[in-house]
Structures are given as C-alpha cells and as structure tokens.
Structure 1
C-alpha cells in the first residue's frame, strides 16, 4: 500500500484538494451551524488536512505504526465546546472516507489500471483508519461534553444558591441577573419547595419535573432537597399534585413575584416543611395552610417554653398514657373539634375521646371550650409534634374506656 501511494502521490494530492472543495461545500449546506463560524476557507483546510491524515494513516498502518489521532481528538473537542451535535462530524468523516477511496481508485486507474487489484486490500485498512479517527473524535467529544455539562451544572447550582440564599458572592450576579441566566423572567409567579432529606433522591428522579408549563429547578443541599418552581398560570396547589406521586415530605412557600423574594420564600418553605406530617394524608405542607404551626416552628425557644408550660403535666406521664392523650388531642384538633370523627379515626368510642380530652383539661388546667386556652393547647401540641414524630393512633380495636 505504501508503494502504491508513493507512485500516485502527486495525482492523489490534486484529487484530494478537489475532494476537500466538494466536501466543504456540502458541509456548509448540511451543517451550517458548525461550518459558518469557521468560514469556508478554514473549513476546507481542515477537511483537506483530515484527508491527508487518513492517507498518512494508511501508510503508517502498513508499516505497523499507530495512526496519528491528535487532530481527530481536537475536532471532537471543538465540536463539544461549541455545543454542536456529534453526528454531522462523524458523517463528514464517512463522506471524506468515500471521497478518499474514490480519489485513490481514480488515481491508481489513471496511473496503471492493471494495478487496481493491488489496491483492493487497502479498502479494509482505510476503513480501519477512519474508524480509529471517528472513535477518537467521539471519545474526545463525549469527554469534553461531560466536563462542560459538569461546569454548567455547577454554574447553575451557584446561581440557584445565590437566589435561595439571598447573598451572592462579591463577584457574583445580583438576583435579577442570576434569574436571567437561569432563564427565569424578571416578574412572574414563583415558589420554593423544600423536600425532606429522606425523600430527596425520589424527588431528583425527575429533575425537570413539571406539568404543562410548570417548571422546577432542583438543587441538592445537605439538609434537604430544594426546588425553585416557576408556576406560570398554575395554582400553588399544583406543586402538591406534582409531588404527591413521590410520597415525600415537603414544604411549599407562598407565591412570590420577583427573584429577589426567593430567599425569603426559601426560608418560609423550610418552615412549612417542619409542619408537614410524618405520615398519613398529604405530606406536602403549604405554608399558608398551616401558619400557626409555622409560627411555632419559627420560634424554637418559645416553642420549648410552650410545650413545657402548657403540656408539661401531660409530657410527664408514662409513655403509653402520654401517647394516648397527645394522639387524641391532635386527632380531635384535626377533626375540627368533632369527637365523633375523632373516634372514627382512633377506632374507639366517642366517650373515650371525651374522657381523654377531659383528662387533658384537668392536667393542663386549660379548657378546650375557651378559645384563648384552646389556641394555647393547639400551639403547644404543634410544638410537641414538631419536636418528635407524631404519636401513632392505636388501630384494629375499639377501646372500651
């Protein structure tokens, strides 16, 4: 193969120059996004260089030497850095291979038609060289694209952090600029959702989760998963509907209208998460649906005092008695003061509910019929629930008490 190429080198060089012209024009038509930034002259020169490299690869292969692949790797890297797809580049290599084989065949036939059979074994060698070149370009492309994706992910994470924390780095963008770089509008309808750490992995299974034009940008954080939600025309309730299939505990902020308010929304979503139930019913808490509980969650020191001052005598009871009374009080509050509905949920007689509630009143010195004292008991119960998992109601039997 080396001898044949040496015999036709001048004619082959002329034919390769013509082939480079043809392939450059075709590439300008088929892949303008890649070709246009280079310009025809540079594009043509790169193609011409690749064709010559393939010929040299044939020669080196016939000598048992490795094919030079640095230029193929550089081409793959450039393609990835420009954010262009890989397929057109590989198509250009294949087209170049066909043109090169045609040029070789024509040059040999023109020099000595009887030598054509000697060229045939070179077909396998040529396609092996082209496979090595395309593999090198593909590997370099994928490696560069992965690195670029990682950089983009880190940059987006930093932009989200600047919005959610409300404190950009000295050289970082302000909230409006950070939002613009994330593709968010200057004004709109936004909310923040915070998912408990035990459900973060499931939430991240759908990082771009959304319904219609509901868009969520997720951020992995050590303490919890955080999502910035662009609501569009959707109601805030749609966030709960979005998360419901995942079965995670989550808190959702109120709606805010500008990116500068997202840091406050994040803090409120974290408070809402602390009011989300550990089990049973919807596990996504919208802040505005549980403001009293959020108020308790936001005042840890006062919540501790509230627990002790209001429910201290109940908390001092043996574990089983404490559990029964706290569960009954919480269920009665959730049932809006209905002993009948509370009894159904607790699988006991309504008189049992009344007796337990009366015991709570006796121990605490507070009456559930006094609105002010009822508020104290409800807030104190919220403080207990937020500190420890909610007591589980007994199931499967009716308590005769």
Structure 2
C-alpha cells in the first residue's frame, strides 16, 4: 500500500486540492460560523492542510511510524482563539475524513483498478489516524479555549473594577461590557462569606441568563472582600434587586438608582454603607439604602456616632448589663412599632404598663421626652448607633422577640408619657 500511495502522490495532491474546494463550499453552505471567521479562501486553505495531514498520517502509520500531531494541535488552538465553535470544527473534520477516503479510492482506481482490493486494509489504519488527529485537535482546542476564557474573565473583571472603583473614565469599560451610556443602574454588595448557591454569582461580568427577559441584567464581581453585583435595571424597579438577591440567602446592601456608568463608583460606596445598616444577626437581609437613611447617616460618621451614643444614651449604657439590655430592647421595639406601646408589649411578651414604665425610666435617664419629635429623632439615631457597634457586645442589645400577632383594633400610637 505504501508503494501505491507513493506512485499516485502527484495525482492525489491534485485531487486533494479539488476536494478541498468542494468541502469548503459544503462547509460554508452548512455552517456560517466558518464564513464569519475565515472566509472561503482561508477555509479552503485550512481544509487542504487538514486533508494533507490525514494522508501524511496514513503514510507514516503504514510505515509503522507515529502520526505527527503538532499541526493538528496548532489548528485546534488557533481556531479556539478565533472563537470557532468546537462542534463546527469537528463536523468539518468528519466530512473531511470521509472525503479523504473517497479521494484516495478514486486516485488508486485511476492509477490501477486492480489495486483497489489492496486499499481495503488501509481503511482501519486511516480511521485510527483520523481519530488521533481529531483527539489532538480537540484537546488543544479545549486548553486554548480555557485559557481564552480565563483571559476574558480577567479582562471583564478589570473593566468592572474600573467602573466600581472609579478608576478613570467610565465610557470605555461600560461600552466593552455592553452597558448603555445612560440608563438605570444600581449596585448591590454582599457581606463577605456569602454563599452563592443556585442562581448565585457567576463569572466576573457574567450577565446571568440572557433568555430571562423578566429579570434585570446583572454583572457579578467576586473579590476577597465580598461579592458585588452591578445591576442594569432597565425598566425594572429597584425593589427587583431584593427579589434577585433573595435566593442567595445573604446579607446585602443596595445603592439608590444612578443613571450613568460614571456614577457606579459612588453607587458602590453607598451600597457598602447600606450593608452596614443590615443587622449582623437575624438571618438574610437585603438593605436598600433609601429605606435606611437614618441608620446609614449614623454608619457614615463613626466618630459622631460614638459621640451620639454617649451624649444621648450614656446614662443607659452605664447601667448593669441586664438593665441596659431591657431598656434598649424596649426602646428599639417601641420605635419599630411606630410608637404603639400596646404593639410593643405584644412583641416583648409583657404588659403594656410594663413597657410604659420602662420608657418613662428611659426618659428620666436620658432627659429626652418620647412625646417630643426632636427627642425621638435623637433617641432613634443613638439607638441605631448602638446597634451598629457590633464589635462591642457590652453595648449591643439582645435580639428583639418576634411579633406575637397583629395589633388589636383600636390601638393608637402615642407617647408612653401619661397626660398631665
């Protein structure tokens, strides 16, 4: 068989050139991916080289030599870098393998029809060669694709960092990430150690499910200090971010809506601030900054927050631990219940008069009246400052009891101070 192939080498070379033309036309008709990446001339030359590799591999295998796989690996890596789908590449290789066998048979028949039976044992050898070449090409393709995807992830991560950190102009990174120059955006920051879980964060810059038109587009950035989501809201309300983050089961802070990619760095800072207002205990919580502005104001000024704690609640903080806990918990519950002593009593599992007595004691200690709106503001901000001082358990009140049920009909909101 080696001698026959040597004798028909020149004719086989011409036939392979014609076969490459036919296969190129067929491939372009069946698979437009090739046309977009290589064009007809480039595809024809690539196919011609692949067919020659197959014939040369057959010749080497018939002589007992190993098949040269370097060119097949180079082809796989090259087309992976260019973004050609592996399925398209393998489909063309299958067509090429069949056409090599057909062309070889035609060349042998033209040279010496009586030699055709001697060609049959070479079929198994040729299929083995084609399998080796295809495996080498596929392995090289996958390695190159993995490297390319890693580079693309790093590039997207750098673009997101530039937007979220405010490093330089935002127009270029936003355009590369497919973000409009004007729209509705928000940033969400998850607490460090949050678990992704089903539907959770993916690759940096991962837009999520492109087929889910009912959800905002999300670009995730995962770093050692936590996970950040850049949300392109479009027509969706800001509240949709809470629904999006809910399945993650994490503490998160969400910025207000901004309209330009250039404002995303500021949005991220506000999201971090919103996260600081989310309770560290009590389970998952998504804190929208605009719903927690008083607490965010306290969190943004650590020095003033400390002063506020001391000036407004200093006498309470100086009490024994149990007394301090009871008064601070009662104040927090009363504020949560919007000034309803009855509702606060239900939550605290005690009598309404007990709540009133505790609040009157707090008024005496602080010199603030819960009937005075200005004093209530001071107490609410000071209480928020105490809650946010998580690193000092001596001043952190115990968690409040869960609601005991709905407020009875006729309950009014009033100061616990009795009328004069």
Quick check: TM above 0.5?
yes
Q: Which residue of 1 aligns with 2:353?
A: 351
- Greater percentage in helix: 1
Unaligned runs of 5+ in 1: 169-173
Other structure's SS at 1:192 match: strand
Q: Is the contact made by 2:220 and 2:228 (CA closer than 8 Å) also made in structure 1?
A: yes
Other structure's SS at 1:188 match: coil
RMSD between aligned alpha carbons?
Answer: 2.4
C-alpha deviation, 1:84, in angstroms: 2.1
- Asked if 1:393 corresponds to 2:393, the answer is no
Q: What pairs up with 1:247-258 in 2 under 5 angstroms? A: 247-258=249-260
Other structure's SS at 2:388 match: helix
Other structure's SS at 1:115 match: helix
Q: Is the contact made by 2:24 and 2:40 (CA closer than 8 Å) also made in structure 1?
A: yes
Distance change in 2, residues 1:245/1:350 (3 Å)? farther
The Cα offsets for residues 269-300 of structure 1, whole Å up to 9 and x where unpaired, read as 11111112334587111111111111001001
Q: Is the contact made by 2:219 and 2:229 (CA closer than 8 Å) also made in structure 1?
A: yes
Q: Which residue of 2 aligns with 1:175?
A: 170
Q: Which residue of 1 aligns with 2:364?
A: 362
- Asked if 1:292 corresponds to 2:297, the answer is no
Distance change in 2, residues 1:289/1:148 (3 Å)? same
Distance change in 2, residues 1:53/1:164 (3 Å)? same
Distance change in 2, residues 1:140/1:281 (3 Å)? closer
TM-score, structure 2 normalization? 0.86
Q: What pairs up with 1:41-190 in 2 under 5 angstroms? A: 41-168=41-168, 174-190=169-185
The worse-fitting range, judged by mean Cα deviation, of 229-238 and 32-41 is 32-41
Distance change in 2, residues 1:357/1:94 (3 Å)? same
Q: Which residue of 1 aligns with 2:20?
A: 20
Paired with 2:32 and 2:400, the residues of 1 have a C-alpha distance of 68
Paired with 2:39 and 2:201, the residues of 1 have a C-alpha distance of 43
Distance change in 2, residues 1:374/1:36 (3 Å)? closer
Other structure's SS at 2:13 match: helix
Q: Which residue of 2 aligns with 1:329?
A: 331
Distance change in 2, residues 1:236/1:220 (3 Å)? same
C-alpha deviation, 1:236, in angstroms: 0.9
Q: What pairs up with 1:206-225 in 2 under 5 angstroms? A: 208-209=207-208, 212-225=214-227
Paired with 1:156 and 1:205, the residues of 2 have a C-alpha distance of 12
Q: Which residue of 2 aligns with 1:171?
A: none
- Asked if 1:315 corresponds to 2:317, the answer is yes
Paired with 2:131 and 2:142, the residues of 1 have a C-alpha distance of 16
Distance change in 2, residues 1:211/1:102 (3 Å)? closer
C-alpha deviation, 1:66, in angstroms: 2.1
Other structure's SS at 1:262 match: helix
The Cα offsets for residues 19-51 of structure 1, whole Å up to 9 and x where unpaired, read as 112112212322344245544334323222211
Which one of the candidate residues 227, 232, 245 is aligned to 1:243?
245
Which one of the candidate residues 235, 247, 271 is aligned to 1:269?
271
Distance change in 2, residues 1:36/1:359 (3 Å)? closer
Q: Which residue of 1 aligns with 2:414?
A: none
Q: Which residue of 2 aligns with 1:193?
A: 188
Paired with 1:390 and 1:236, the residues of 2 have a C-alpha distance of 31
TM-score, structure 1 normalization? 0.90
> How many aligned residue pairs are there?
392
C-alpha deviation, 1:219, in angstroms: 1.0
Distance change in 2, residues 1:384/1:111 (3 Å)? same
Distance change in 2, residues 1:211/1:298 (3 Å)? farther
Unaligned runs of 5+ in 2: 391-395, 405-420
Other structure's SS at 2:190 match: strand
Paired with 2:141 and 2:368, the residues of 1 have a C-alpha distance of 72
C-alpha deviation, 1:301, in angstroms: 0.6
Paired with 1:84 and 1:42, the residues of 2 have a C-alpha distance of 13
C-alpha deviation, 1:65, in angstroms: 2.4
The Cα offsets for residues 36-85 of structure 1, whole Å up to 9 and x where unpaired, read as 55443343232222111111111222333221122222222222222221
Distance change in 2, residues 1:55/1:338 (3 Å)? same
Paired with 2:93 and 2:130, the residues of 1 have a C-alpha distance of 7
The Cα offsets for residues 149-177 of structure 1, whole Å up to 9 and x where unpaired, read as 11111111111111112222xxxxx1122
- Asked if 1:204 corresponds to 2:201, the answer is yes
Distance change in 2, residues 1:390/1:177 (3 Å)? farther
